[in-house]
Amino acid sequence: MQNENKQLRLALVGNPNVGKTTLFNTLTGFNQRVGNFPGITIERKEGQFSQMTLVDLPGIYSLDTFSPEERVTKEYLESSQADVILNIVDATNLERNLYLTLQLQQFGKPVIVLLNMMDLAQAKGLSIDIEKLEQRLQMTVIPIRAKDIITKKQLHQCLHTNNYLPFEQVYTWTNTQQAYADIEAKFLAGIIHKETEPVLTLSEQIDRLILSKWLSLPILFGLVWLMFKITFDWVGGPLADGLSGFFADVIVPFVETTFLTHTTTWFQSFIVDGIFGGIEPVLAALPVVLILFVCLSLFEDTGYMSRIALILDRIMRRLGLSGKAIVPLMLGFGCTVPAVMATKALESQRQQKLATLLLPFMSCNARLPVYVLFAAVFFPGNEGLVVALLYILGIIVAIVLGLLFNQTFFRSDVEPFLLEVPDYRVPTLKNITKQTWEKGKGFVKRATTFIIAANVIIWTLSHIGFQPTFGYVEDLDMSILASVANVFAPIFEPLGFGNWQSVVAIVTGFLAKESVTSTLGVLFSNSEAELSTTLPTFFSTASASAFLVFTLLYTPCMAVIATVKKEYGIKMMWIIVIYPVIVAWIVAWIVYQISQFIM
Amino acid sequence: MTVAKMKIGESAIVKGFTQENSFVQRLRTMGITENVVIQLKRKAPFSDPLIISCRGSELAIRIQDAKNIVIEV
């Protein structure tokens, strides 16, 4: 007889921002994105935990659902695929958390209550009688620390020995008020003891400063300025320069002298220009990308992002959005793909679509290598300023279009806004290093696989021609690629960069934004001269500015387009493909005219 | 009186809502029900949104929506 050892399925359910994903990562060893903001998880994710399947679900306040990601959770629970429900609750906020806990009984499955953030509860002077709580709820209650590995052992033991209370009963109430009254009187009375009366928590003191009338905006701008300084001038920039020098002075000469001395010219060109020329400027930007990512994670993990949402709510309202839209927009400075998914957490479909339309102008970090490259060549000494201006221009374009859309296609009454404000938390070094490591790995992986592959194709097409006979050509202007791209070059003539190489770079940028930089690397660097000396022969300062602006604003990469299609359908996808190109062309033209006038 | 008129630091008891809509329903599930004590903790810069504290958590709502919540000090 075979043991009926069906894999146990565990559903992880709880209010937003109580640490579900943190626990998920601890138990499965995965690296899902977490942050101190309600609603980071918007899709369900599965992982393995000691021969059981663990399902991480978006946070949910109750089963009377409202937002789309809450529906994901409800539908999963209704499908009754889960054998056991793990309900994480925030110990500092039992009253509200238990409202969901009691509702979870309606699925007829055992519910294990995981009491997280006990340390915070203690800091607030609360002590909780766990045994009594267990008796009253008739559910197993386990105090845990979501990020602590000990939790894994605890849960492993509990689940494998079936050492938890079975499903007992369904609770029903006529209305919410009754439910809360019951929670207070029947379940929690005499269970929570306030040991000390908290005077003013640290979070409150920090908020006094950060949300104060006169200091809130200066602090916000100061922090953003600091972020830029650290990323471009103090740490990231110098590191990028060092890395770039290391490539040009050490790696490439080493490869040339060791492997390429006895090879043919075309093979040398293939390796040096095709491979190294392309990925060098992309990889050199890695320190900048990572440091910007660390800064953004700090904003999120500390809980400051929620405050930004509050501070800017009034301004965002003018654009027809709520303060919450700050989250996807800020994420857009990292990568537009998660940012598009984060728009799903906004209140209405109108807001979700509107935020998605503005996202392409939040400069994603794959565009950064172009800025770093051009700023170093055309604006030496002012690199940080130029890059900052580009980001600001992106924001201004988004604001102008937001105002425009809000007055036209997206007109509506102001919608209600409700945001839970989390306490500040000290971000853990482990979380930040882990996530930054993942990010860096992804970036390097893309640069060394996809981008190299694209470079090889670009190099090949740019070195094959029909003149005099079909075959290898020394002069790239005679290549197939040049003749095809030259057809489209006139479109960019009014912007000052009507050369075929720029056209190719922009087209490959549709695939991945790093490709803009790597393509320029392949096409503009040659055996005799480096990119920094060839670029000024093709671009003036004015046309370089226009090229930067065009790169900043035009259509996001294919991955984003696919995400938009998945989340919002084909019509929205075409809008996201076409309208940013038009906006980019117009703004780049204006910038070109102005720069020509000034310079 | 409504929550929109509360002063910072003031506590009050929720008496009801001026209308029933999905927003009010949402407030209820988050614990803002009749007879609960709420406190106006803070205001965002420029006085809007308001941050109220109720049943141990802090919620931000706009003045316009706060007018829906009827209270008694």
What is the Cα–Cα distance from A370 to A548, expressed in whole angstroms? 7
Q: Could you give all domains of chain B from N- to C-terminal order, each with its CATH number?
A: 3-72 (2.30.30.90)
- Identify any residues that bridge with A90 across adjacent strands, giving them in sequence order: A116
Instruction: Please give the average per-residue pLDDT across A529-538, as a whole number.
Output: 86
Distances (CA, A) of A53 to A8, A50, A104: 6, 8, 19
**Residue A55 host element (H or E):** strand A52-56
- Compute how many other C-beta atoms are within 10 angstroms of the C-beta atom of residue A34: 25
Instruction: Please give the average per-residue pLDDT across A543-564, as a whole number.
Output: 95
Instruction: Please give the average per-residue pLDDT across A578-584, as a whole number.
Output: 97
Inter-chain contact B58–A421, Cβ cutoff 8 Å? yes
> In 3D, which of A72, A47, A78, A46 has the Cα closest to residue A60?
A72
Q: What is the DSSP string of A237-267?
A: HHHHHHHHHHIIIIIHHHHHHHHSTTS-HHH
**Out of A94, A180, A421, whose CB is closest to B60?**
A421
- Chain B contact set for A419 (CB, 8 A): 49, 59-60
What is the Cα–Cα distance from B42 to A359, expressed in whole angstroms? 31
What is the Cα–Cα distance from A176 to B65, expressed in whole angstroms? 20
CA distance B25 to chain A (A): 9
For A310, the 3-state DSSP assignment is helix
Sign of the dihedral defined by the CA atoms of residues A72, A60, A356, A354, in that order: positive
Name residue A443's amino acid. Answer: F
Cis peptide before A468 (omega within 30 of 0): yes
Contact indicator for A23, A151 with CB cutoff of 8 Å: yes
- pLDDT by residue (tens digit) across A328-347? 999 899 889 989 988 988 88
Q: Are A190 and A224 within one domain?
A: no
What is the Cα–Cα distance from A414 to A595, expressed in whole angstroms? 40
Q: Are A185 and A272 within one domain?
A: no
Residue in chain A lying closest to B41 (CA): A204
Q: Are A394 and A508 within one domain?
A: yes
Distances (CA, A) of A43 to A21, A94, A420: 11, 25, 20
Kindly state whether residue A424 falls inside one of the protein's structural domains.
no
pLDDT (0 to 100) of residue A3: 41
Kindly state whether residue A427 falls inside one of the protein's structural domains.
no
Kindly state whether residue A38 falls inside one of the protein's structural domains.
yes
Instruction: Give the pLDDT band (50/70/90) at residue A98.
Output: very high
pLDDT (0 to 100) of residue A404: 94
Inter-chain contact A96–B55, Cβ cutoff 8 Å? yes
Window 304-323 of A: residues touching B by CB (8 A cutoff) are 309-311, 313-314, 323
Q: Give the DSSP letter of residue A234.
A: I
For A530, the 3-state DSSP assignment is coil
Say if A92 is an interface residue toward chain B (CB within 8 Å). yes
Instruction: Please give the average per-residue pLDDT across A214-227, as a whole number.
Output: 93
Say if A61 is an interface residue toward chain B (CB within 8 Å). yes
Kindly state whether residue A1 falls inside one of the protein's structural domains.
no
Say if A418 is an interface residue toward chain B (CB within 8 Å). yes
What is the Cα–Cα distance from A399 to A312, expressed in whole angstroms? 13
pLDDT (0 to 100) of residue A356: 97
Total domains present in chain A: 2
Kindly state whether residue A422 falls inside one of the protein's structural domains.
no
The 3-class SS string of chain B reads CEHHHCCCCCEEEEEEECCCCHHHHHHHHCCCCCCCEEEEEEECHHHCCEEEEECCEEEEECHHHHCCEEEEC
Contact indicator for A128, A121 with CB cutoff of 8 Å: yes
Kindly state whether residue A212 falls inside one of the protein's structural domains.
no
Kindly state whether residue A59 falls inside one of the protein's structural domains.
yes
- Chain A contact set for B43 (CB, 8 A): 211
Q: Are A360 and A469 within one domain?
A: yes
- pLDDT by residue (tens digit) across A408-450? 887 877 788 999 999 898 888 888 898 889 888 988 998 888 8
Q: What is the DSSP string of A435-465?
A: HHHHHHHHHHHHHHTHHHHHHHHHHHHHSEE
Q: Are A591 and A479 within one domain?
A: yes
Q: Are A368 and A231 within one domain?
A: yes
What is the Cα–Cα distance from B7 to A260, expressed in whole angstroms? 77
Domain enclosing residue A65, as ranges: 8-194
Q: Are A406 and A512 within one domain?
A: yes
Residues whose CB falls within 8 Å of the CB of residue A371, separated by 6 or more in sequence, listed in order: A363, A386, A387, A390, A548, A551, A552
Kindly state whether residue A457 falls inside one of the protein's structural domains.
yes
Inter-chain contact A418–B27, Cβ cutoff 8 Å? yes
Contact indicator for A53, A10 with CB cutoff of 8 Å: yes
- Compute how many other C-beta atoms are within 10 angstroms of the C-beta atom of residue A155: 24
Inter-chain contact B59–A418, Cβ cutoff 8 Å? yes
Residue in chain B lying closest to A175 (CA): B28
Instruction: Give the pLDDT band (50/70/90) at residue A5.
Output: low
Q: Please indicate whether residue A488 or residue A262 has the higher confidence score (pLDDT).
A: A488
Q: Are A261 and A324 within one domain?
A: yes
What is the Cα–Cα distance from A258 to A278, expressed in whole angstroms? 20
Inter-chain contact A96–B31, Cβ cutoff 8 Å? yes
Interface test with A, best of B17, B26, B34, B64 (most A CBs within 10 A): B26
Residues whose CB falls within 8 Å of the CB of residue A353, separated by 6 or more in sequence, listed in order: A343, A410, A568, A572
- Chain B contact set for A211 (CB, 8 A): 42-45, 51
Q: Are A264 and A354 within one domain?
A: yes
Place of tokens 């803070």: B42
Output the pTM of the full model.
Answer: 0.87
Q: Are A139 and A183 within one domain?
A: yes
Q: What is the CATH number of the domain that holds A128?
A: 3.40.50.300
Say if A220 is an interface residue toward chain B (CB within 8 Å). no
**Residue pairs between chains A and B whose CB atoms are closer than 8 Å:** 103
Inter-chain contact B26–A66, Cβ cutoff 8 Å? yes
- pLDDT by residue (tens digit) across A75-91? 999 998 999 999 999 99
Q: Are A485 and A556 within one domain?
A: yes
Contact indicator for B6, B69 with CB cutoff of 8 Å: no
User: What ipTM was reported for this prediction?
Assistant: 0.94
- Chain A contact set for B57 (CB, 8 A): 93, 96, 420
Residues whose CB falls within 8 Å of the CB of residue A332, separated by 6 or more in sequence, listed in order: A339, A359, A362, A363, A364
- pLDDT by residue (tens digit) across B26-51? 899 999 999 999 999 999 988 889 99
Q: Are A551 and A410 within one domain?
A: yes
Residue in chain A lying closest to B51 (CA): A421
Last residue of a domain, one of A161, A194, A227: A194
